[in-house]
Structure 1
Amino acid sequence: MIVDAVFAPVQSTTAFEETLERLGTAIKLELLPPGTRLPPERDLCEQLGIARSTLRQALTALVQSGHLHAVRGRGGGTFVADAPAQIAARSELVDWRERCDVRLAVEVGVAYLAAERAEPAAIDLLGDLVGEMAASDDDFAAYRRADVRFHVGLAEATGSPALVAATTESQGAMTDLISYIAHPPEVLAWSNAQHARLVDCLIKRDPALAMKVMADHLRGTEHVLAGLLP
């Protein structure tokens, strides 16, 4: 059955984001129609092969984005919300995967070079930006400003003006996409934890791990977009 595929095991280092995409896409395609009650958390965890904490983060994010709603008490549970209003297709939505591909190609290389070349002052600045994002609370505009500065700051740490320009252009393209989705705090906290790991890679001069963390980070964003974009 199609619904069985929705709840097939998730096997990835980006389990949170993939769970978000899996459920968000199923809701958009009405494989899980409005009013559908999701299975109990224990059953969902077993079917998806993920930890309960990961599932709860994904469900909370989908509730906050309006895809699900929770009902307490007898007869309660987590239900698929009424179908949200659709946004007319725009060029930035049509080619969103290509934009993600360009970003992946640029920023994974940036992470590698930054881990090789970053000066202590640049690393300290990136650490400060992680702190700004952590302190942004519900102010997504402030989070996003620090997020952009973080990624451009990584490019600046490579010492390559061409990579700074490419990263800045990529971030501009992503901002257009991100404006179409909700920004649940769980998603932002998860993303910022990866920013912190990248800073640690720079401190330890570990370019190979920096590439992996950045690839996971960008793939995670892609999964979130796939699940939440209209």
Structure 2
Amino acid sequence: MIASDALFAPVISTTAFEETLERLSVAIKLGLLAPGARLPAERELCEQLGIARSTLRQALTALVQSGHLVAVRGRMGGTFVADAPPAPAPPSEAALAAWRGACDTRLAVELGVAMLAAERAERAQIDRLAALVAMMAAGLEDFAAYRYADVHFHIGLAEATGSPALVAAMTDSQGAMSDLVAQIPHPPEVLAWSNAQHARLVDCLEQRDGALAVRVMKDHLRGTEHVLAGLLP
């Protein structure tokens, strides 16, 4: 799966420890690494990320100390995502002040993703996105379930482009938005409206209509901006 490939793609930053720490913590926060999931073996992770074992162990130790991961010793042991990872801290005043920048970055990424996904999505990928729309429709009263499916929907669109770079960019964007979205209430009516746009995006992929997909996505993202503008503290 492309999402997994992007998650464990080689680290190219000169700050390998920090980048590894961020990549794993964002994946946990977004549910890409599910509670209880076992991480690949250290040797495999080091090869995939292109980092030294000492760097990986440093990052894993930090995430165990923060409560994101659990290390289990013994023959059946390993490193697992915590069943109940710590709740994210409220965004700083600086982050709240820069929320429009986060929205601008998301806009730049997701409009391109919408266009390419409409051109390239395969049948199985479209079906998966449709199933996520159904999950969100059933989870209007449970925001945690809705948000889980929402994140996977947008990352699924990026996967449909066939570009690991866009999957990584989408994951980063979703991580930045999650901190903001967590600070506002989520009326079911707003979620239902948003999910109707998700359904329209699936229709655009069915019809191979990239231009319409871009327009629908733009409306979708602008709607989120308006909600944030009205409800952020």
Distance change in 2, residues 1:137/1:219 (3 Å):
closer
Task: Report the counterpart of residue 191 of structure 1 in structure 2.
Answer: 194
Residues of 1 paired with 2:116 and 2:231: CA distance? 32
TM alignment of 1:41-56, pairs within 5 A? none
2:225 corresponds, among 222, 226, 229, to 222
Task: Report the counterpart of residue 211 of structure 2 in structure 1.
Answer: 208
Shift of 1:88: 8.9
| Residue pair 1:92, 1:176 contacting (<8 A) in 2 also | no
Residues of 1 paired with 2:179 and 2:231: CA distance? 14
Q: How many pairs does the alignment contain?
A: 144
2:169 corresponds, among 166, 171, 189, to 166
Shift of 1:91: 2.5
Residues of 2 paired with 1:163 and 1:88: CA distance? 25
For structure 1, the residue ranges without an aligned partner over 5 or more in a row are 1-86
Q: Secondary structure at the match of 2:185?
A: coil
Tell me whether 1:178 sits opposite 2:184 in the alignment: no
Task: Report the counterpart of residue 159 of structure 2 in structure 1.
Answer: 156
2:109 corresponds, among 91, 102, 106, to 106
Tell me whether 1:117 sits opposite 2:112 in the alignment: no
Distance change in 2, residues 1:107/1:88 (3 Å):
closer
Corresponding letter in the other structure for 2:189: E
Shift of 1:90: 2.2
- Percent of pairs with identical residues: 73
Compare relative contact order (CA 8 Å, sep 6+) and give the higher one, 1 or 2.
1
| Cα distance per residue 1:62-116 (max 9 Å; x no partner) | xxxxxxxxxxxxxxxxxxxxxxxxx995232111000000000000000000000
CA RMSD of aligned residues (A): 1.2
Corresponding letter in the other structure for 1:224: V
Residues of 2 paired with 1:89 and 1:134: CA distance? 32
TM alignment of 1:11-26, pairs within 5 A? none
Q: Secondary structure at the match of 1:182?
A: coil
Task: Report the counterpart of residue 128 of structure 1 in structure 2.
Answer: 131
Residues of 1 paired with 2:168 and 2:143: CA distance? 24
| Residue pair 2:136, 2:150 contacting (<8 A) in 1 also | yes
| Cα distance per residue 1:175-228 (max 9 Å; x no partner) | 000011000001100000000000000000000000000000000000000010
Residues of 2 paired with 1:208 and 1:88: CA distance? 35
Task: Report the counterpart of residue 90 of structure 1 in structure 2.
Answer: 93
